[in-house]
Amino acid sequence: MSELGVRKDGTSIYRRPNETRYATLAQLDLEETVMKHARSEVAQLVTETQAQAAVQGSTLSPEQRDAVARLLTADKLMTVLLAPAGAGKTRTMAEFARACDSLVGGRVIGITTAENAARVLAEEARKQGVPLETYNSAAFLGKVEGSRELRYPVEIGAGDVLILDESSMLSTADLALILGAARRADARVIATGDLRQLGAVEAGGMFRAVARELGAVELHEVLRFGAQWERAASLRLRQAHHEVFASYDAHGRIRHGDQEAAYTRAAGDYLADFVAGKDTLLLAGTNAEAAENPVLQTRLVNVRMSNDWNKRHYGLSVRLTAAQSAEHHGRVPRHLQGRRWTGLPQDWPARL
């Protein structure tokens, strides 16, 4: 060292924790494959004039109409659409699917990372009258449990468009496979999502890399919220500006209370929703809370319904939600193990 704390090359001997990053050669090759596929050139689906004519008269905002036109005229295999929550990404892609079906005739296929997300996407498409097939990524690729075999059961062809929903959550390996399938079939891919939302559970990060390398179509205006303050606040919250919590508090969006009061209210609201026939979840912050909190358990343990009530309400059999969460992690209190909760007694409000 040339002097205390400094290496001969002039850098400090001190390093921030986790500053050094490592990767295998196989992973780097996979990432290069993704970039190679993504930047490959394809013919535009329609001309600029056709694209502009297709969005005229729609109920989309000017920003959304411009996004649809740019997606229709993209000349790369993979195009990225970035949008914060509430910017109308779903409506924008619905209008794209309509235009694509009308002008090109190719199929539009939605791909998600989870089966539940695929169902939600299918339902949104149905409500808006959009011709959209949906699959989770494992089903689309035809993965076989316990094997590396891929069956590719979904046939795709020239002019088809694959829409990757919440693409930041897609693993690099799956993205490479999907892009490879699209390239072989002369199809194209639109990856949608938000760089500030959750990343992939497995090795990922290519959504951000492709957006940085090739650029992206972006939606900026938040339209979901009626109140102007909430539109601005949601964007600040997305950017992790902690001071925005004061805005939510000032508008009564944050409810205070001690832990016992919070658990009591959570249990009561959960049971009220359940009795009303709603699909509802009661979530605990940690496994310990789900498995061991006496306040929550004592209120939910009283939930017992007769078989008659159960039959009248669609034959549902519901396990104690807190115990179900804990059971998944192998942490269920002994007195709750194996118990099923299928209803409420007549006097259940008095027991809360």
Helix (H) or strand (E) holding 238: helix 228-238
Asked whether the predicted pLDDT for residue 342 surpasses 50, the reply is no
Domain edges within the chain? 25-218, 224-252, 259-351
Mean pLDDT across the stretch 158-169? 94
Determine the pLDDT at residue 1: 43
Evaluate if pTM is beyond 0.85. Answer: no
Phi, psi of 56 (to 5 degrees): -65, 135
Q: Alpha-carbon distance 254 to 246, whole Å?
A: 9
Specify whether the CB–CB gap between 270 and 280 falls below 8 A. yes
Determine the pLDDT at residue 296: 58
Percent of residues, the chain, with pLDDT higher than 90:
50
pLDDT higher for 240 or 161? 161
Q: What's the residue count for the chain?
A: 352
pLDDT digits (tens, 9 = 90+) for 265-274: 887 888 888 7
Mean pLDDT across the stretch 181-208? 93
Q: How confident is the model at residue 158 (pLDDT cuts 50, 70, 90)?
A: very high
pLDDT digits (tens, 9 = 90+) for 292-331: 656 556 656 565 443 344 444 433 333 344 444 444 444 4
The neighbour count for residue 21, using CB atoms within 10 Å, is: 5
Determine the pLDDT at residue 261: 82
| Position 121, amino acid | L
Specify whether the CB–CB gap between 213 and 183 falls below 8 A. no
Token reading at 19 = 């500053």
Mean pLDDT across the stretch 206-219? 95
Q: Alpha-carbon distance 132 to 96, whole Å?
A: 11
- CA of 310: how far to CAs of 182, 224, 267, 301, in Å? 48, 38, 20, 17
Q: Alpha-carbon distance 257 to 166, whole Å?
A: 34
Determine the pLDDT at residue 201: 87
The neighbour count for residue 208, using CB atoms within 10 Å, is: 17
pLDDT higher for 257 or 291? 257
Residues 6+ apart with CB under 8 A from 3: none
The class level of CATH for 25-218 reads alpha beta
Mean pLDDT across the stretch 179-197? 95
Q: Alpha-carbon distance 225 to 10, whole Å?
A: 52
Tell me how far apart the terminal alpha carbons of the chain are, to the nearest angstrom: 69
Strand partners, 3: 6
Determine the pLDDT at residue 297: 61
Determine the pLDDT at residue 27: 94
Determine the pLDDT at residue 31: 96
Specify whether the CB–CB gap between 196 and 221 falls below 8 A. no
Asked whether the predicted pLDDT for residue 334 surpasses 70, the reply is no
Helix (H) or strand (E) holding 178: helix 172-185
Q: How confident is the model at residue 229 (pLDDT cuts 50, 70, 90)?
A: very high
Q: How confident is the model at residue 113 (pLDDT cuts 50, 70, 90)?
A: very high
For the chain, give the mean pLDDT. Answer: 82
Q: Alpha-carbon distance 154 to 151, whole Å?
A: 9
Phi, psi of 316 (to 5 degrees): -70, 145
Q: Which range has highest mean pLDDT (90-104, 125-139, 179-193, 300-314)?
A: 179-193
Token reading at 97 = 């699917």
Q: Alpha-carbon distance 209 to 206, whole Å?
A: 5
Specify whether the CB–CB gap between 319 and 340 falls below 8 A. yes
Q: What is the dihedral of CA 289, 293, 296, 302, to 10 degrees?
A: 130
- CA of 304: how far to CAs of 163, 322, 342, 343, in Å? 45, 15, 6, 5
Q: How confident is the model at residue 18 (pLDDT cuts 50, 70, 90)?
A: confident
Residues 6+ apart with CB under 8 A from 51: 68, 69, 70, 72, 73, 99
